[in-house]
């Protein structure tokens, strides 16, 4: 068994209902593999930062934990954006306050930055009842040692306000990270679990700031010249999963439309990545991946459509009619009635979102995807000239894949000025795939030309997006009452006003759209262009 890095912790965190922790502790997946009795202790950890939250800004945490009759000081980095690991540096201290003089590791010191002990203040404290048990998966050299921690308690502020904690942490002590996912999948059969991306520190800072969960965009992906093709696949897929999971909490609240939007973006990026590397993925695996992505995207889609309709299409028309004179009271009332009907459909669509994200299928998908990456599941295929490229540098493949995506976009937009709406939508999809590919590989190229290219691409894509939103609005209005709800008398009139308003806007911007298409054709590519490309 390979020993874990002393300065790294590799763990998988799972949210569980408090009433299910005992059920999970008794699960066969644990009972059959436990290497000793379980141990329970209370952990009280105080997290420190400066008044201006410099450590939080640096994505670093500094805590002092009371352990029996002693104290342990710990510095941690933020979890990797594309993996399970994070930096961790521990040392014993004499009391409940930090002692920065005991931190000698250069990486930990760099993470903390310039810092004086007099600047530090306690920000929040976690009080956790932790029960741990060690298990071993596999045999001999292929075995993995995992510490399972069942945590129940709370993170609290000095004023007494608190947020509950109920989770299972699987920490790899030695062996393969894939074993974490294998064990998690088995535990998920015993009780509902959900992948938890938020650390206790992150929840404490959120509580201290008083801010609700926020939607987050994808982190910038970094590949270096030495990354292999399969290394790039692993890193890209992990980043997409992290982006997806990071937006779960805000999406479940249903109050910020950006949450479900970012989850859908993460899924589109993931599907685009799987398609980009399709030649290296065995067909059964590819079909499973695409099937699960389509299922989840389909569950989120209606909520996003109604969000866009309410905020970007209906809202400006409604505001204009409420401000203006001379339209008559009935038109305003009709638009308000349409808004109420649309809101009812939006709320029902979010019920579908919550059911999907809270389902066993969703958890199994994320855990199965994680296991696929850690096991390098794509290697499960005959050795061929194509599959052997997995072990070569991604720099040798990026140009080819970018050219392939670029040519598909050009073909999709041929004769753009005369393309109907449906074909322009297909062009928009091709442009998205091109943009995602460029974002995946951008760190392999000079940043300035990449940024210029992406800006021109995004401007055209956004304009096409509004065209698609108007087409989607027409479909939504036809579907508004197909669930059996009753239509208010003035709704058809209001629907006509909304569609007419935006149809005129689309007509007015047609010349700009055609100009943006030509700008895209003229955009200077940041990658090499093979002679046979054109």
If pLDDT is split at 50, 70 and 90, which confidence band does 491 have? confident
What φ, ψ does residue 192 adopt, rounded to 5°?
Answer: -60, 135
Per-residue confidence (pLDDT) for residue 1, from 0 to 100: 40
Whether 226 contacts 447, CB under 8 Å: no
Determine the pLDDT at residue 533: 47
DSSP element (H, E) containing 362 = helix 360-374
Q: How far apart are CA 61 and CA 33, in angstroms?
A: 33
Which residues fall within 8 angstroms of residue 242, CB to CB, at 6 or more apart? Answer: 81, 82, 197, 219
Place of tokens 């066993």: 360
Of the given ranges (1-5, 45-49, 54-58, 295-299), which has the lowest mean pLDDT? 1-5
Distant-in-sequence, close-in-space partners of 235: CB < 8 Å, separation ≥ 6: 82, 221, 223, 227
pLDDT in tens, 452-474: 999 989 888 888 887 778 888 88
- Of 234, 208, 291, 25, nearest to 132 (Cα)? 25
Spell out the alpha helix ranges (H) of 480-509: 491-508
How far apart are alpha carbons 66 and 129 in whole angstroms? 13
**Residue 531 in this model has a pLDDT that exceeds 90:** no
Higher per-residue pLDDT: 470 or 63: 63
User: Average pLDDT, stretch 196-209?
Assistant: 91
Q: pLDDT tens digits, residue range 154-163?
A: 999 999 999 9
Cβ contact 40:22 at 8 Å: no
Q: How far apart are CA 173 and CA 282, in angstroms?
A: 32
pLDDT value of residue 22: 95
Q: What is the pLDDT of residue 329?
A: 55
Measured CA to CA in angstroms, residue 141 lies from 138, 174, 409, 502 at distances of: 8, 11, 49, 65
Mean pLDDT of 363-377: 96
Contact, 88 vs 5, CB < 8 A? no
pLDDT tens readout for residues 390-438: 999 999 899 999 999 999 999 999 999 999 888 998 999 999 999 999 9
Tell me which residue of 335, 240, 257 sits closest to 296, measured CA to CA. 240
How far is Cα 402 from Cα 264, in angstroms, rounded to an integer?
A: 23
The whole-angstrom separation of Cα 161 and Cα 482 is 45
Distance CA 275, CA 259 (A): 24
pLDDT of res. 192? 95
b/e map 319-353, b = 16+ CB within 10 Å: eebeeeeeeeeebbebbbbbbebbeebbeebbeeb
Question: What backbone phi and psi angles, to 5 degrees, belong to 113?
Answer: 75, -175
State mean pLDDT over 480-507.
81
478, pLDDT greater than 90 = no
Average pLDDT for 490-510: 82
Do strands 39-49 and 60-67 pair parallel, antiparallel, or not at all (unpaired)?
A: antiparallel
Q: Does residue 81 have a pLDDT over 70?
A: no
For residue 5, name the pLDDT band (cuts at 50, 70, 90). very low
Q: Is the pLDDT of residue 91 over 80?
A: yes
- pLDDT over 80 (residue 325): no
Q: How far is CA 430 from CA 48, 407, 460, 473, in A?
A: 48, 10, 12, 22
Mean pLDDT of the residues in the chain: 90
Q: Which residue in 266, 245, 157, 142 sits closest to 194, CA to CA?
A: 245
The whole-number pLDDT of residue 9 equals 86
382-386-392 Cα angle (round to 5):
110
Contact 146, 172 (CB under 8 A): yes
Average pLDDT in the 293-305 region?
97
Q: What is the pLDDT of residue 326?
A: 54
pLDDT score at 3 = 39
Distant-in-sequence, close-in-space partners of 308: CB < 8 Å, separation ≥ 6: 257, 469, 472, 473
High-pLDDT (> 70) share of the chain, % = 96
pLDDT tops 50 at residue 357: yes
301 pLDDT higher than 60? yes
The predicted model scores a pTM of 0.90
Please name which of 358, 350, 340, 355 lies closest in space to residue 260, comparing C-alpha atoms. Answer: 350
The number of residues in the chain equals 534
User: In whole angstroms, what separates CA 142 from the centre of its chain?
Assistant: 31
List phi, psi (to 5°) of 226: -90, 0
CB 137 within 8 A of CB 170: no
The answer to whether 394 and 444 have CB atoms below 8 angstroms apart is yes
pLDDT band (50, 70, 90) for residue 4: very low
C-alpha torsion sign, points 115, 117, 121, 127: positive
Mean pLDDT of 278-286: 96
């Amino acid at each position: 068994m390979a020993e874990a890095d002393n300065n790294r912790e590799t763990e998988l965190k799972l949210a569980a209902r408090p009433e299910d922790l005992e059920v999970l502790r008794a699960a066969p997946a644990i009972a059959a593999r436990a290497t000793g009795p379980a141990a329970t202790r209370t952990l009280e950890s105080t997290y420190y930062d400066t008044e201006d939250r410099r450590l939080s800004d640096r994505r670093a945490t500094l805590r002092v934990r009371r352990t029996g009759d002693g104290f342990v000081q710990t510095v941690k980095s933020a979890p990797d954006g594309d993996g399970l690991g994070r930096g961790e540096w521990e040392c014993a201290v004499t009391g409940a306050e930090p002692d920065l003089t005991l931190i000698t590791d250069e990486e930990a010191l760099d993470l903390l930055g310039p810092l004086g002990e007099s600047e530090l203040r306690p920000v929040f404290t976690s009080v956790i009842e932790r029960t741990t048990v060690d298990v071993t998966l596999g045999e001999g050299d292929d075995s993995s040692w995992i510490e399972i921690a069942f945590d129940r308690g709370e993170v609290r502020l000095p004023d007494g306000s608190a947020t509950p904690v109920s989770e299972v942490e699987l920490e790899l002590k030695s062996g393969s990270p894939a074993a974490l996912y294998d064990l998690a999948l088995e535990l998920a059969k015993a009780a509902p679990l959900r992948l938890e991306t938020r650390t206790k520190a992150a929840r404490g800072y959120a509580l201290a700031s008083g801010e609700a969960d926020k939607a987050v965009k994808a982190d910038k992906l970094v590949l270096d010249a030495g990354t292999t093709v399969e290394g790039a696949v692993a890193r890209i897929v992990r980043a997409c999963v992290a982006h997806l999971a990071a937006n779960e909490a805000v999406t479940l609240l249903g109050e910020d439309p950006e949450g479900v939007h970012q989850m859908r973006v993460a899924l589109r990026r993931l599907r685009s990545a799987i398609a980009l590397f399709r030649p290296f993925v065995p067909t059964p695996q590819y079909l499973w991946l695409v099937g699960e992505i389509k299922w989840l995207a389909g569950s989120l889609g209606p909520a996003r459509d109604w969000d866009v309709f309410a905020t970007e299409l209906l809202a400006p028309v409604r505001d204009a009619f409420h401000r203006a004179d001379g339209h008559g009271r009935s038109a305003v009332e009709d638009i308000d009635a349409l808004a109420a009907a649309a809101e009812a459909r939006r709320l029902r669509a979010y019920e579908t979102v919550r059911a999907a994200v809270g389902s066993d299928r969703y958890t199994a998908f994320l855990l199965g995807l994680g296991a696929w990456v850690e096991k390098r599941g794509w290697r499960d295929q005959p050795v061929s000239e194509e599959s052997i490229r997995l072990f070569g540098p991604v720099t040798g493949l990026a140009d080819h894949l970018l050219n392939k995506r670029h040519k598909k976009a050009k073909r999709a937009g041929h004769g753009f000025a005369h393309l109907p709406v449906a074909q322009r939508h297909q062009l928009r999809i091709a442009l998205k795939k091109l943009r995602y590919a460029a974002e995946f590989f951008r760190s392999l190229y000079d940043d300035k030309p990449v940024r210029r290219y992406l800006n021109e691409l995004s401007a055209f894509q956004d304009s096409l997006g509004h065209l698609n939103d108007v087409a989607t609005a027409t479909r939504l209005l036809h579907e508004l009452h197909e669930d059996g709800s009753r239509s208010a008398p003035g709704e058809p009139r209001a629907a006509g006003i909304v569609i007419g308003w935006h149809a005129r806007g689309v007509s007015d911007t047609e010349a700009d759209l055609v100009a943006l298409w030509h700008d895209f054709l003229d955009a200077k590519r940041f990658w090499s262009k093979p002679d046979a490309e054109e």
